[in-house]
A and B are shown apart, each in its own frame.
Chain A
Amino acid sequence: MSGGTRREYILLSAVDPNSGSPCQVQISFERMQAVARRSMGHAMECAYIVPAVLQRPTAVFEGLRLEEDEDRRGVGWRCYCGVPEFAYRADGSKLSPWPGQVFVVFVNDDRIAYNWRWEQADDDEPALPIDYEDRFRRRLL
């Protein structure tokens, strides 16, 4: 999955949605650096929200659906969801979580967290992302 490029990773603690036991998830140093360069707010999301959602998710889904997923790479990929205690402005200052939104962290089948963001929450399940029933193959937690 490294595309032939040597990347450095940092290991973070997470929860295994199958067993409820601790497990490890990696984040590439390159990704951390790219996010930290955007703004202090993006850095705060990476620093505080990503570990919190990986360790205390409200739900974990497996199997990201792609229409033309020829090699079915998305099958074992996971989406950790949560509603963090805070959100952050661009300058890094705290505010209450964005109303009607959840934070999602995407983890590939090598257990690498490669993307995260806020998304609109489902109307009926405010701790889950919108369209969760259509986007994922199954719910693990």
Chain B
Amino acid sequence: MTVVSNADFASRVLGLAQNAPPFRPTAHYDPDGDCIEFLAAPDPFYGERVDDLLTVYYSQESRQIIGSLIKGVRGLLKRHPGLNIEIQDGRVRLVHLLRASFWNKDQPQPVEVRTYRKLIEVAEAANVETELAAV
């Protein structure tokens, strides 16, 4: 494998974008980071860490929650074996993982409760599933 130039890299990425279908909400498990990234809108965003396992994404334009990053997915599944009942054909609805991530907290602060609740609402509205076969 050889190093690609910056120009070649940019050309490849932008080529993928030009042929992309219209945006739809997505949640992807990334085995390289052992994390699930959820995005409900195509806006540019910034991330704010809620805790060590959850980062929430806010739209740079509307300042509303539009996504999240759940880290430590393997550990989450290990700590909550009951989640297996929600996994069908290797796929699980994101809201189940968000609830499990929240249940993991001992003494959630009010601001964390509000943030998780809002994020779960956004995920429910987006009705996204993620593939866990690579976990």
Instruction: Report Cα–Cα, A68/B35, bound state, in Å.
Output: 14
CB distance from A121 to the nearest CB of B (A): 10
- Interface Cβ pair total, 8 Å cutoff: 146
Number of interface residues of A (CB under 8 A): 59
User: Would you call B6 and A51 a contact (CB within 8 A)?
Assistant: yes
User: Would you call A117 and B45 a contact (CB within 8 A)?
Assistant: yes
User: Would you call A65 and B52 a contact (CB within 8 A)?
Assistant: yes
User: Would you call B1 and A101 a contact (CB within 8 A)?
Assistant: no
User: Would you call A11 and B4 a contact (CB within 8 A)?
Assistant: yes
User: Would you call A73 and B13 a contact (CB within 8 A)?
Assistant: no
Instruction: Report Cα–Cα, A25/B66, bound state, in Å.
Output: 29
Q: Give which listed residue, A55, A66, A112, contacts B52 with CB less than 8 A.
A: A66
Q: Is the interface of A mostly helix, strand, loop or mixed?
A: mixed
User: Would you call B1 and A87 a contact (CB within 8 A)?
Assistant: no
Q: Which of A12, A37, A101, A112 has the most CB of B within 10 A?
A: A37
Number of interface residues of B (CB under 8 A): 47
Q: Which residues of A contact B53 (CB under 8 A)?
A: 66-68
Quick one: closest A residue to B131, CB to CB?
A5
User: Would you call B60 and A36 a contact (CB within 8 A)?
Assistant: no
Instruction: Report Cα–Cα, A48/B9, bound state, in Å.
Output: 9
Q: Give which listed residue, B6, B32, B44, B51, contacts A1 with CB less than 8 A.
A: B32
Binary CB contact string for chain A from 31 to 50 against chain B (1 if under 8 A, 0 otherwise): 11111111111111111100
B residues near A (Cβ < 8 Å) are 1-4, 6, 9-10, 12-14, 16-17, 20-21, 23, 26, 28, 30-35, 37, 39, 42-49, 51-53, 55, 57, 60, 69, 71-72, 75, 79, 133-135
A residues near B (Cβ < 8 Å) are 1-5, 7, 9-13, 24, 28, 31-48, 51, 55, 65-70, 73, 87-90, 92, 98, 101, 106, 108, 110, 112, 114-115, 117-120, 131, 135
Q: A38-B42, A118-B45 are in contact. List 4 more A-B contacts (CB 8 A).
A: A3-B31, A3-B135, A37-B26, A108-B32
Sampled A-B contacts (6; CB under 8 Å):
A12-B4, A34-B28, A37-B26, A40-B14, A45-B44, A119-B48
